[in-house]
Amino acid sequence: MKRFRFLTVVVLVLLAVACSSSDESGEATDNFDRKTLLENIADNIVIPAYQSFSVDMAALRTATSDFVSTTDESNLVELRQAWSTAFVSWQSVSMFEIGKAEEISFRNFMNVYPVSSTNIETNISSGTYDLTSVSQQDEQGFGSLDFLINGLSDSDTAIVGFYTDATTGVNYENYLTDLVTRMDDMTSEVLNDWTGDFRDSFVNNSGSSATSSLDKLVNDFIFHYEKHLRAGKIGIPAGVFSGTPLDDRVEAIYKGDLSKTLFNANLDALQDFFNGKHFTSNTTGQSLKTYLDFLNTIKDGEDLSNLINNQFNTARTIATNLNEDFSEQVRTNNSLMLNTYDELQKNVVFLKVDMLQAIAINIDFVDADGD
């Protein structure tokens, strides 16, 4: 009995040493070329997407300047179009919370919703605010712009009147300008990081550990799919977590008919990322899909990559039945929102459980809603 215990201890020690050695090496345990995958992600997906978004943000900044210089209904319409274009473009980069974007909490400053219209009005009336403060995240970004150009009134004439008012108009102009300037500056900061030194450090960090580029980015991808697409855009407004539908929690609430467009753009971006599709073409490179195929990952007799893509497509098909305005959809037939949520949820299991197990990546975020 004593000999058995001794041998058991020896075996456990050897296993611990082996595991420790493997963890410290940071090398992938399979032969898949992670570096080539990271190169495709950086050069053909992330950087081109940020470059496109930066162009759209610059156009939004110009449209804002034009509106402030000549404040009329025509320029308000132009400003709204530039905002919508940039907002849709944002859906292609919002998942990449890594590098400078993670450092400056880019996503939280760009697109927290719902926003606090009361606090926005307080900032405007006081003329004093610190947009770099975490406590001010729901007073800026795309949601706050939505309020300022769509939500002040149901009448375009009245909205223009807020900016031309002899007493308070300049405060509205200044706040609008400050919000867009900050959004554009932050976008440039993140893009410059990617086109600078970060690209190479990202690609070269190709090992297999909690701090490797692929491990971190895959976690970002799954977190965004689960928390921002599935829950944020669909589940929360549909009342999945509250038990009561919340029609005021949709994206672009004041615009009304943009929420479905934003959802589809984000769903497409997430699926394209999974498949390694280049941002500017239909060409595909090394990706999570090719990684799973390389490992010959099978679930229920079918390639896991096919199951994941089929589920993306099923969710998209179900979502075609949704109203362009998700707030209206929640009020009139919430069951369609719940159906969409259910289809999105199925891919959480494929991505978060089956895929991560296959490519040996651990979840690095806290799961708070029981999935």
pLDDT (tens place) for every residue of the chain, 371 residues total: 333 333 333 333 333 433 333 333 344 468 999 999 999 999 999 999 999 999 999 999 999 999 999 999 999 999 999 999 999 999 999 999 999 999 999 999 999 999 999 999 999 999 999 999 999 999 999 999 999 999 999 999 999 999 999 999 999 999 999 999 999 999 999 999 999 999 999 999 999 999 999 999 999 999 999 999 999 999 999 999 999 999 999 999 999 999 999 999 999 999 999 999 999 999 999 999 999 999 999 999 999 999 999 999 999 999 999 999 999 999 999 999 999 999 999 999 999 999 999 999 999 987 655 44
Give the SS3 label for residue 96.
Answer: coil
Is residue 191 domain-shared with residue 215, that is, in the same domain?
no
The first and second tokens of residue 215, run together, are 């491990």
pLDDT at 5: 37
Q: Which of 137, 162, 7, 133 is nearest to 71 (CA)?
A: 162
Which residue(s) pair with 277 in the sheet?
284
Judge residue 344's burial from the number of C-beta atoms within 10 Å of its C-beta, 0-12 exposed, 13-18 middle, 19 or more buried: buried
Q: For the chain, how many structural domains are there in total?
A: 2
Is residue 183 domain-shared with residue 212, that is, in the same domain?
no
Neighbours of 338 (CB within 10 A): 16
Is residue 269 domain-shared with residue 128, that is, in the same domain?
no
Is residue 186 domain-shared with residue 217, that is, in the same domain?
no
pLDDT at 368: 54
- Of 201, 223, 248, the position where a domain reaches its end is 201
* Reported pTM: 0.91
Residue 159 lies in a domain: yes
Give the SS3 label for residue 284.
Answer: strand
Q: Which of 154, 155, 121, 150 is nearest to 138 (CA)?
A: 121
pLDDT at 365: 87
pLDDT at 314: 99
Residue 13 lies in a domain: no
Is residue 260 domain-shared with residue 320, that is, in the same domain?
yes
Q: Which domain holds residue 244?
A: 208-364
pLDDT at 70: 99
